[in-house]
């Protein structure tokens, strides 16, 4: 970018100040996201404490191996995202696009596995509602567990879908040569978002898939 | 400020390897019966916190960011603790004195 005034909004003294404002703004947004997911995590903690046996029993109906594979897939996608940001910092256009494409691909694999799991849950009558079927003594609290399961993984999946949309926009911009070693703030900020969504999963995985194995 | 700090591919790879190793560890530990004291859950959550810290400090560059970034990241965690802590110390202590609801 030869003329930095193209990318610097007039209210900022310089491009660094503009970058710092965007960076902090993104962390503030992620703080609101912590609160958003935090409400669901709090609800989960509350009901798990109230019905530990039913939550353990219901948790064992989730596929621990699909959960482990998906965790690994998401960590891979965070790795490729981090490398995309690194390429952006170095001003390398082609590697940015390739790493972003890889990140989208891994995100799609995650969603594919996730929706396969959803399909199994429908087949097994484990989706809360009229068709929910579970051993009678634990049925009501087990239904609560699966309500949390679908609400939390569903909101997480929605964040992944939004993330894939943001990555697509980045690829289009990168192809048009909008990023350089001096200006690549959008790549960094989407990177923060993607890593945050990864962190949400890092906590969902043990809480939903693992802690039910042994109380 | 982060854009001035370019980390090496090797460092990212080490963090990535650690995250994968911790994932396999936490799945492995889930199959072990560590007694009924909730130790399984404590270890699973401790590993999750460790993984989250690695992602925040290195992938999200928090370690190389301004103190102001730390304040905002810390504030998110602090308010989350108020949310969970405040709710649980209500619900867990409700029946201490035998009163209803």
Q: Give the residue on A whose Cα is nearest the Cα of B25.
A: A68
Is residue B28 predicted with pLDDT exceeding 60? yes
Is residue A144 within 8 angstroms of chain B, CB to CB? no
Judgement on whether residues B12 and B53 belong to the same structural domain of the protein: yes
> Do B56 and B72 share a domain, yes or no?
no
Which runs of consecutive H residues, i.e. helices, occur in B31-66?
Answer: 39-54
Cβ A47 vs Cβ A55: under 8 Å: yes
CA distances (Å), origin A135, targets A129, A139, A146: 15, 6, 14
Q: Are residues B52 and B19 in the same domain?
A: yes
Nearest to B44 among A41, A78, A206 (CB): A206
Check CB contact under 8 Å for A213 and B40.
Answer: yes
Query: Cβ contact (<8 Å) for A86 and B19?
Result: no
pLDDT tens-place string over residues B41-82: 999 999 999 999 999 999 999 999 999 999 999 999 999 999
**B52 & B92 share domain:** no
Weakly modelled stretches of chain A, pLDDT under 70: 1-6
Say whether A78 and B59 touch across the interface (CB within 8 A). yes
Task: Determine the pLDDT at residue A3.
Answer: 52
pLDDT band at B98 (very low <50, low <70, confident <90, very high): confident
Q: What ipTM does this complex have?
A: 0.93
Tell whether B100 lies on the interface with A, counting CB pairs under 8 A.
Answer: no
- Cβ separation of B20 and A35 shorter than 8 Å? no
Question: In this structure, are B52 and B79 located in the same domain?
Answer: no
> In this structure, are B16 and B60 located in the same domain?
yes
Mean pLDDT, chain A, rounded, equals: 94
Residue of B nearest to A65 (CA): B27
Give the H/E segment covering residue B60.
Answer: none
Residue B93's domain comprises 66-101
Closest residue of chain B to A82, computed from CA coordinates? B59
Domain ranges of chain A: 35-210
Residues on chain B touching A198 (C-beta within 8 angstroms): 55, 59
pLDDT tier, B34 (very low <50, low <70, confident <90, very high otherwise):
confident
* pLDDT on residue B2: 45
- pLDDT band at B1, cuts 50/70/90? very low
Assess whether B25 and B35 both reside in one domain.
yes
What CATH number does domain A35-210 carry, 3.20.20.70, 3.90.1150.10, 1.20.120.80, 3.40.50.620?
Answer: 1.20.120.80
Residue in the block written with tokens 């929706």: A115
Quote the pLDDT of residue B47: 97
Query: What pTM was computed for the model?
Result: 0.93
Q: Per-residue pLDDT for B29 more than 50?
A: yes
Predicted local distance difference test score (pLDDT) of residue B97: 78
User: What's the pLDDT tens digit per position in A93-151?
Assistant: 999 999 999 999 999 999 999 999 999 999 999 999 999 999 999 999 999 999 999 99
Count of structural domains, chain B: 2
Burial class (CB in 10 A: 0-12, 13-18, 19+), A131: exposed
Beta strands per DSSP E along chain B? none
| Residue B42 CB neighbours (<10 A) | 12
């Amino acid at each position: 970018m030869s003329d930095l005034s193209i990318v610097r909004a007039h209210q900022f003294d310089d491009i660094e100040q503009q970058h710092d404002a965007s960076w902090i703004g993104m962390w503030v947004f992620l703080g609101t996201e912590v609160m958003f997911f935090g409400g669901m995590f709090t609800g989960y903690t509350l009901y798990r404490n109230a019905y530990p046996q039913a939550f353990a029993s219901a948790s064992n109906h989730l596929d621990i191996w699909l959960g482990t594979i998906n965790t690994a897939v998401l960590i891979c996608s965070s790795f490729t995202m981090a490398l995309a940001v690194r390429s952006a910092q170095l001003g390398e256009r082609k590697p940015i696009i390739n790493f972003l494409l890889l990140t989208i691909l891994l995100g799609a694999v995650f969603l594919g596995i996730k929706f396969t799991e959803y399909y199994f849950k429908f087949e097994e009558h484990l989706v809360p509602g009229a068709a929910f079927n579970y051993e009678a003594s634990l049925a009501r609290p087990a239904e609560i567990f699966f309500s949390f399961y679908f609400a939390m993984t569903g909101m997480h999946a929605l964040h992944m879908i939004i993330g894939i949309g943001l990555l697509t926009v980045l690829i289009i911009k990168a192809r048009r040569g909008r990023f350089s070693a001096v200006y690549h703030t959008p790549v960094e900020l989407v990177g923060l978002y993607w890593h945050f969504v990864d962190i949400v999963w890092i906590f969902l995985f043990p809480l939903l898939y693992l802690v039910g194995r042994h109380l | 400020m982060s854009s001035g700090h370019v980390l090496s591919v090797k460092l990212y790879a080490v963090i990535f390897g650690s995250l994968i190793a911790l994932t396999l560890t936490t799945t492995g530990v889930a199959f072990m019966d560590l007694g009924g004291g909730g130790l399984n859950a404590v270890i699973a959550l401790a590993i999750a916190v460790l993984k989250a810290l690695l992602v925040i400090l290195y992938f999200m560059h928090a370690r190389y960011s301004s103190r102001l970034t730390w304040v905002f990241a810390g504030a998110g965690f602090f308010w989350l603790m108020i949310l969970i802590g405040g709710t649980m110390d209500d619900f867990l202590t409700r029946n201490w004195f035998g009163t209803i609801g």
